[in-house]
Amino acid sequence: MQERVYLDHAATTPAHPDVVSAMIPYMTKIFGNPSSVHSFGREARFALDDARAFIAQSINAKENEIIFTSGGTEADNTALFGVAMANKDKGNHIITTAIEHHAILYACKQLEKEGFEITYLPVNEHGEISIEDLKSALKDTTILVSTMYGNNEVGTIQPIREIGALLSGTNVLFHSDAVQAFGIEKIDVNDLKLDLMSVSAHKINGPKGVGFLYVRNGVKFLPRQFGGEQERKRRAGTENVAGIVGLKEAIRLSELDMLEKVERFKQFKQRMINIFQKEKINFSVNGEGARAQLPHIFNVSFPGTNVESMLTNLDLTGIAASSGSACTAGSVEPSHVLVAMYGKGSDRTTNSIRFSFGYGNTLEEIEGAAHKITNIVKRLTNEK
Ligand code: PMP
């Protein structure tokens, strides 16, 4: 079998072996329900409390500000609906951006049906919102601003610190979807003045189906899920104990080599660019010129190609990558992110591929992939 190269870490990552080892006992020996009073239950509860304390200190939050969820989608939905429903007496206006993940955008569409007014801030060609646009969108009825930390398609980082500073001390709450940025950037929710933040484990070499939502104490918030009283009455249901233990371990590991990882991913990106330039293929990097970008995401437009042929050819040579609209399974629909950045008619919306790096990728593998990509691009563009 040919060697495969996985360059789709923004979609998901393999669980780290240490994560798996940490989880196993919680599926076998330590299987109790954390709500049970007996020793089996206490052991499971201890693991949850331990993970919660670890995560809280990692983001400079308090333990009771962490709600475990089934991942980024649930965290995003819970943030939006939880705040919207609890604060509708104060106002019905929410501000978000045109390039959010669908977990936010589709939740907003539903909120619109339920009588909320949503403003979708535009972005510039680098994928950045402007603070001036945000300022002019704010009104008396605004209850929440939700902007992603780092974009999952192009990697652009939003001016989170400036937004936090602008909203701090006002009645407007600030949520950020940090699913892609978490584990790559150290995040301090107090420093950034975040009121809510979404995180998912499977993007940082943790297990799938688990994540958390940070909700600052004092934020008026209605639960979305009702039942047995787990998660401090804010989310019912038996927790995914093994998953939460895995999430904690993934966060612990991500903190050990954060700086080194960032440097490694930057090097991968630069090496690919160098090879493309040396081989003289036509390409441009989407989001280039942004003030800050997530280093693991490299979204490239190859003029004269199209996403379908590129992805098929990449797959045939063993390279796993994604289309621009990477989070809609199998989708080759023009990406709403690239449309917002470059306009509907731009060929970037139909010829862009996202490569995303992760733990396990080697420079050798990246160079090999860059040469294969070059050959595919040359072949596809010469065929014309
Ligand atoms: N937000 C962003 C920015 C994402 O990249 C993803 C994953 N594609 C999600 C939310 C959803 O997370 P999950 O897969 O854990 O539901």
Residue in 215, 270, 273, 244 with CA at minimum distance from that of residue 78: 215
* Polymer length of the chain: 384
State which residues of the chain have pLDDT below 50: 326-329, 384
The 10s digit of each residue's pLDDT in 124-183 is 999 999 999 999 999 999 999 999 999 999 999 999 999 999 999 999 999 999 999 999
pLDDT of residue 323: 87
327 as an active site residue: the answer is: yes
pLDDT of residue 247: 98
Q: Are 277 and 371 in contact (CB under 8 A)?
A: no
What pTM was estimated for this model as a whole? 0.96
CA–CA gap between residue 171 and residue 7 (Å, rounded): 42
Instruction: Say which CATH class 17-255 falls into.
Output: alpha beta
CA atoms within 13 A on the CB side of 86: 16
Give the distance (Å) from ligand 1 centre to CA of residue 200: 7
- Catalytic choice (75, 107, 314, 327): 327
In CATH, the number for domain 5-13+257-382 is 3.90.1150.10
**Helical spans, DSSP H, in the chain:** 17-23, 39-59, 72-86, 102-113, 131-137, 160-167, 241-256, 258-278, 307-316, 336-342, 363-382
pLDDT of residue 204: 98
What ipTM describes this predicted complex? 0.99
Residue in 331, 354, 339, 336 with CA at minimum distance from that of residue 109: 336
Please name every residue paired with 284 in a beta bridge, in sequence order, or none if there are none. 301
Q: Where are the domains of the chain?
A: 5-13+257-382, 17-255
CA–CA gap between residue 144 and residue 306 (Å, rounded): 38
Give the distance (Å) from ligand 1 centre to CA of residue 82: 18
Atom in ligand 1 nearest the alpha carbon of residue 10? 5
Atom in ligand 1 nearest the alpha carbon of residue 103? 10
